Structure 1
Amino acid sequence: MKILIDIGHPAHVHYFKNTIRILKEKGHEITITARNKEVAFNLLDTYHLPYVSRGSGGKGIIGKLLYLLKGNAVIARVARTFRPDIFLSFGSPYAAQVSKLFGKPHIAFDDTEYAKLEHFMYLPFTDTVVTPDVFRKNMGARQVRYKGFIELCHLAPTQFQPDESILAELGLSRSDRYVILRFIAWQASHDMGQRGLNLEQKLTLVHELSRHTRVFISAEGDLPPELEPYRLRLAPAKFHSFLAFASLYIGEGETTANECAILGTPNILINSLVAPETCLGVHLELQQYGLQELFENYEGLMEKALELLKDKTKVVYQERLQKMLGEKIDVSAFMTWLIENYPTSLSQLKAQPDYSDKFRLTLKAKQ
C-alpha cells in the first residue's frame, strides 16, 4: 500500500511517526509532504523521515487562500509521481482536496471542534474523520470515534519513556523543580479574536514563579528582552522528556497542555478558547480526570499555580494518570490497523463502534 501523509504542524510529526515506522516495517510505502512551521522540519530530520516541503504558509485571508493553491499544487505534483492509495492527515484541507483530484480516500484525524474554517475546507473532500469519543461535534456518517487522545500516539507508556539525561543539558538534576511557560503566536485561522496572556501578566508570572522555582519559557517567535534569558534552549525532539520531569506547565498552547496531562505533569491551560462554548471535549475530559486546569483569563491563575507547586501534587497527578490510561486505547496501534486494513477496518468500526477497545492500553504493574 502507498500512503501520502501531509504534515501541517510539528505536533503532527509526533502523531504519525510511530505509525509510519510500523507501516514501513511491514513493507508499505510512505511519502510525506510538510509545511515549514516552527520545528516541523527539524523533527522530521531528527526522526529520519524524508519529506517534500510545501512552503511556510500564508498570512491574512488573502495570503492563506494563495497558499492553499500552492500547497495543493505541491501535493498534487508529489501524488502524480507517487500514486498513493490513501491520503492521511490531521485535518489537512490540502491533502483532502488533492485526494479527490486523484479519486483516492482521505482519512483525517481531528480533535478540534472550533476549527470551523478547517472543517469547511477539508470535510467535503474527506472520506473518514477519526475523532476522540469525547469530541463534541457530530461530523456525520463519515465520523468514527476512539477512546483516547491523539497525544497518546507518541506519549503512551507503550510508545515513550522520558530520558532523564536531558536534565543535565540544562544544569538540572532529577531532584530539581522547574516550571515551563509556553506562549503562542495566535496566528492560526481559528485563533482570530482569541487571547491568552498579555505582556504584563507574562512578566508577573515569571517574576513570582522565579521566587519559588526555576522558570523556562517555550515560545513561538520573539520574546521581549526581559523574558529572553528564560527561553528554553533544547533540541525539539527532547522537549517531551523535559515536560515529563517538570513540576508544572502553564501555557496558552493546548497541545502542550494535553501532552503534560498524558505525562502526568500538573498543567494549567490559559486562553479564551476554553470558554464553555468553545472548549474542546478533550480538555473537559482531562479536567474531569483531574489532569488539567482550565483558565479563560488570568484571574486566580497565580494562586492555582502556587497550589500546584506543592510537594505532593505530582504524585497525585501520576495516580490520576494511571486511572485514565487504564480506560484508553493505544492510539498508534489503532491508527496503524485502521490505515493498513482500510476500508474493511472502517466497516468493522461502523458495525461495532466499540471495536477500538481491542487496542486497549496494556499497563505494566508497578513494582
Structure 2
Amino acid sequence: MRIFIDIGHPAHVHYFKNFIKIMEKRNHQFLILARNKDVTHKLLDYYDINYVDKGKGSNNLFGKFIYGIYSILKIFRLAIKFKPHLFFSFASPYAAQASTILNKPHITFTDTEHAFTNKGLILFSKIVCTPKSFKRDYGDKHRRFNGFFELGYLHPKYFSADSSVLKKVGIREEEKFIIIRFVSWHAGHDFGYKGLDLRVKVQIIEELSKHVKVYISSEDELPKELIKYQIKLAPYLIHDFMAFASYFLGESGTMTTESAILGVPSIQVSALPSGTIGSLEELEHKYGLVKIYENFDKKILQDIIRYLNKRDAKKEYLKRRNQMLNETIDITNHMIDLVDEIMDNYEN
C-alpha cells in the first residue's frame, strides 16, 4: 500500500516514526511531506526518513491562508504522481481536503479539542482517531483508543533513556535539574491565547535557579538574560534528557504529556481554560502525573521547591507511571490496525 503522510510539527515525526519503520519492513511505501517548522527536518534526517520539503509557513492569519492553499496544491501535485491508497496526518486540514479531491481515504489523529480546524477534519476524513479521554464526539467516524499519542515513541517498548546525555550538558547522574518549556503560541489552535510574559518568565527562572539547575527549551528566541539557561542538545536527544529531569514546568501540552509519561512530575501553565484537553485532564486526575494551572501563581514555585527537597519523591511518580502504562495501549499498533482495516476494504 502507498501511504501519503503530511507532517506539520516536530511532534508528528515522533508520532509516526515507528509506524513508518514497521510498515516499510512490510513493504508499504510512503511519501512524507514535511513543513520546515523548528527541528522537524532535523528529526526526519536523523531517523533516516525521506521527505519532501513543504516550506516554513507563516505566523500571521493572511500568511496561514496563503500557505494553506499552497499546501493543498503541493499535496495534490505530489499525490497525482505517487498515487496513494491512503492519506495519514495529525490533524492536517490540507491532507484532508486533498484526499477528498482525489477520492482517497484520510485517517487523521488529534488530541486537541479546541482546534478550529476540527470541523473540516471531520468533514473530509474517513476516520478521526483520538484518545479515549477526548471530550468531543465525532459520530461514526470517531475511533477512540485508551492511551496517549506520546506512548507511540516513549513507551518502554520503543524508548530507553540513555544517561550519557547528562555528560553532554555537564550534569552528574545524581544531580537534580528542572526543564522549563516556553511555546510561541503561533499555532492555529492557539489563536486568541497568550502565554507567559517576559517578566514572569524571568521571575520563574531566577527563583528556581536559586535551588536547582534550570534548563530552558523555547520555540521563540530567548532574551539575552535567559540564553545561558537554554538546552544545548541535538533535538533527537531531548527525550533522553527529559527522562532524567527532577521536574518539568512549561506551557507546552505535548512536552507536559511526554514528561508525565516518562515519570517526571509535571506542571503546565496554560492560557487554555482548565479541562480543555481531555488527555491532560486524565493525566492529572486519574494518574496524578500532571498539575495544570490557567495562570501563573507563586504557589507553583513553592510546590516545586518543596518537592525537590523531598527524598525519593520520584519513586511515587514512577509508580503512577507504571499504573498508566499497564492501563493503556500501544498507539503504533493501533495505527497499523487502522491501515489493515482500510486494506481489507480495498481487497473486498
- Residue 120 of structure 1 and its aligned partner are, at CA, apart by 2.9
Q: How does 1:16-55 map to 2 (within 5 A)?
A: 16-55=16-55
Any idea what SS the aligned residue of 1:194 has? coil
Any idea what SS the aligned residue of 1:311 has? coil
Q: How does 1:316-331 map to 2 (within 5 A)?
A: 316-331=316-331
User: Structure 1: 5+ residue runs without aligned partners?
Assistant: 346-367
Identity of aligned residues (%): 42
Any idea what SS the aligned residue of 2:172 has? coil
- Residue 274 of structure 1 and its aligned partner are, at CA, apart by 4.3
Partner residue of 1:275? Answer: 274
* 8 Å contact kept, 1:149–1:282: yes
Asked if 1:11 corresponds to 2:11, the answer is: yes
What is the total number of aligned residue pairs between the two structures? 342
* 8 Å contact kept, 1:110–1:129: yes
Partner residue of 1:358? Answer: none
**CA distances 1:258-282 after superposition (whole Å, capped 9, x unpaired):** 0001100111100121424xx2110
Partner residue of 2:144? Answer: 145
Partner residue of 2:132? Answer: 133
Partner residue of 1:333? Answer: 333
Farther-moved stretch of structure 1 (2-11 vs 329-338)? 329-338
- Residue 344 of structure 1 and its aligned partner are, at CA, apart by 4.5
- Residue 308 of structure 1 and its aligned partner are, at CA, apart by 2.9
Cα separation, 2, equivalents of 1:157 and 1:298: 33
Partner residue of 1:169? Answer: 168
Partner residue of 1:287? Answer: 284
Asked if 1:230 corresponds to 2:226, the answer is: no
Q: How does 1:101-120 map to 2 (within 5 A)?
A: 101-115=101-115, 117-120=116-119
- Residue 195 of structure 1 and its aligned partner are, at CA, apart by 2.6
- Residue 122 of structure 1 and its aligned partner are, at CA, apart by 2.4
Cα separation, 2, equivalents of 1:205 and 1:312: 24
Any idea what SS the aligned residue of 1:99 has? helix
Amino acid at match of 1:14: H
Change (3 A) 1:343 1:137: farther
**CA distances 1:106-149 after superposition (whole Å, capped 9, x unpaired):** 0001111011x211332211110001111000112110111100
- Residue 343 of structure 1 and its aligned partner are, at CA, apart by 5.7
Cα separation, 1, equivalents of 2:284 and 2:59: 34
**CA distances 1:311-356 after superposition (whole Å, capped 9, x unpaired):** 32211100000111110001111112221332659xxxxxxxxxxx
* 8 Å contact kept, 2:59–2:187: no
Partner residue of 1:240? Answer: 239
Partner residue of 1:348? Answer: none
Any idea what SS the aligned residue of 1:273 has? coil
Amino acid at match of 1:150: F
TM, length-normalised to structure 1:
0.91
Amino acid at match of 1:148: G
Any idea what SS the aligned residue of 1:324 has? helix
TM, length-normalised to structure 2:
0.96
Q: CA RMSD in A?
A: 1.2
User: Structure 2: 5+ residue runs without aligned partners?
Assistant: none
Partner residue of 2:252? Answer: 253
Asked if 1:264 corresponds to 2:258, the answer is: no
Partner residue of 1:196? Answer: 195
**CA distances 1:31-78 after superposition (whole Å, capped 9, x unpaired):** 100111110000000001010111111232211111111011111111
Asked if 1:312 corresponds to 2:312, the answer is: yes
Asked if 1:154 corresponds to 2:161, the answer is: no
Any idea what SS the aligned residue of 1:255 has? helix
* 8 Å contact kept, 1:177–1:246: yes
Amino acid at match of 1:95: A
